[in-house]
């Protein structure tokens, strides 16, 4: 038995249409000529159904004899198939702040949330950070530059910006290391989160050995002094 499927309006053949004879538990797809060939179909009455995306499904009854070769033609009417409605829902923090929130629940460190930052609007990062995070000092320089120092870093670290026992903390902004260790790339009002880790406790991806000058001195801070992560608000 051969089933031919074509477009009812253009009479063009329809490949990849699904042809099913449920009583025989057989399902085929039409070839590039719009044909599906069923072999060894015994005599009887069968319901043949055809469907293809973009067309209305069709059904016809077949009366097959024991010796006849039967050819059936299906002319499918084009039909639009509406897709299910999709709802877009804000899932909360973006990917960067999701990383922040995950660590805030699972890791040792000091965290300043967006809510706390907004409550301190009008302040400077140095003010809220030194209030919330013990053992660090943020120093404001001309031009708006802010550097972070630890009062608890190892005394073996040599640093060109080190004074009075302070050593410079490494700073990452949105996952990227600040070459000079500045904590001023994101305006305070656009900050979404702050993380700080004392030496030895930073997430593994932020534990790099750091950058060194030709004299072997850390440039932009050393992880041995601590690591601060700054994140933009979503």
The CATH number for 18's domain is 2.60.40.1120
The DSSP element (H or E) to which 116 belongs, if any, is helix 114-119
Q: How far apart are CA 68 and CA 212, in angstroms?
A: 88
Q: Give yes or no: residues 223 and 112 share one domain.
A: yes
Judge whether 88 lies within some domain. Answer: no
Closest CA to 60 of 113, 9, 122, 1: 1
Count of structural domains, the chain:
2
Judge whether 87 lies within some domain. Answer: no
pTM of the predicted protein model: 0.55
Q: How far apart are CA 67 and CA 41, in angstroms?
A: 10
Q: How far apart are CA 177 and CA 205, in angstroms?
A: 11
C-beta of residue 64 within 8 angstroms of C-beta of residue 24: no
Q: Give yes or no: residues 49 and 114 share one domain.
A: no
Q: Give yes or no: residues 25 and 123 share one domain.
A: no
The owner of tokens 């797809």 is: 29
The DSSP element (H or E) to which 131 belongs, if any, is helix 125-132
Instruction: Collect contacts of 159-165 with beta carbons under 8 A, ≥24 apart.
Output: 159/217, 159/218, 159/221, 159/222, 159/225, 160/213, 160/217
Both tokens assigned to 198: 């004392």
Judge whether 143 lies within some domain. Answer: yes
Judge whether 10 lies within some domain. Answer: yes
Judge whether 84 lies within some domain. Answer: no
Q: Give yes or no: residues 118 and 191 share one domain.
A: yes
Give the Cα-Cα-Cα angle 52, 56, 58 (nearest 5 degrees). 85
Q: Over its length of 234 residues, how does the chain's per-residue pLDDT go in tens digits?
A: 889 999 999 999 999 999 999 888 899 999 999 999 988 888 888 899 999 988 999 999 988 776 667 888 999 999 876 767 776 665 554 567 888 888 888 888 899 999 999 999 888 899 999 999 998 999 988 888 899 999 875 543 444 444 455 789 999 999 899 988 899 989 999 999 999 999 888 888 888 766 665 565 667 788 888 999 999 987
**According to DSSP H, which parts of 107-207 are helical?**
114-119, 125-132
Judge whether 85 lies within some domain. Answer: no
Q: Give yes or no: residues 69 and 153 share one domain.
A: no
Q: How far apart are CA 65 and CA 41, in angstroms?
A: 9
Q: Give yes or no: residues 100 and 69 share one domain.
A: no
User: Which domain does 23 fall in, by range?
Assistant: 2-76
Q: Give yes or no: residues 166 and 52 share one domain.
A: no
Q: What is the CATH number of the domain that holds 134?
A: 2.170.130.10
Q: How far apart are CA 219 and CA 208, in angstroms?
A: 13
Q: Give yes or no: residues 53 and 100 share one domain.
A: no
> What is the pLDDT, as a whole number, of residue 204?
87
Q: Give yes or no: residues 100 and 176 share one domain.
A: yes
């Amino acid at each position: 038995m051969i089933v031919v499927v074509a477009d009812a309006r253009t009479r063009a053949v329809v490949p990849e249409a699904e042809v099913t004879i449920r009583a025989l538990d057989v399902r085929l797809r039409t070839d590039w000529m719009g044909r599906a060939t069923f072999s060894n179909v015994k005599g009887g009455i069968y319901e043949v159904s055809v469907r293809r995306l973009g067309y209305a499904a069709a059904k016809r009854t077949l009366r097959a004899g024991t010796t006849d070769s039967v050819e059936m033609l299906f002319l499918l009417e084009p039909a639009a198939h509406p897709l299910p409605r999709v709802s877009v829902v804000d899932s909360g923090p973006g990917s960067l702040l999701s990383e922040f929130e995950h660590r805030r629940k699972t890791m040792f460190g000091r965290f300043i949330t967006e809510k706390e930052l907004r409550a301190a609007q009008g302040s400077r990062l140095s003010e809220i950070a030194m209030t919330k995070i013990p053992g660090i000092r943020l120093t404001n320089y001309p031009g708006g530059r802010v550097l972070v120092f630890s009062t608890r870093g190892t005394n073996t670290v040599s640093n060109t910006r080190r004074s009075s026992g302070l050593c410079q903390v490494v700073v990452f902004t949105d996952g990227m290391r600040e070459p000079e260790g500045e904590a001023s790339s994101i305006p305070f009002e656009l900050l979404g989160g702050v993380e700080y880790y004392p030496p030895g406790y930073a997430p593994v991806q932020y534990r790099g050995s750091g950058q060194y000058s030709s004299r072997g001195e850390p440039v932009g801070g050393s992880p041995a002094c601590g690591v601060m992560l700054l994140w933009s608000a979503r």
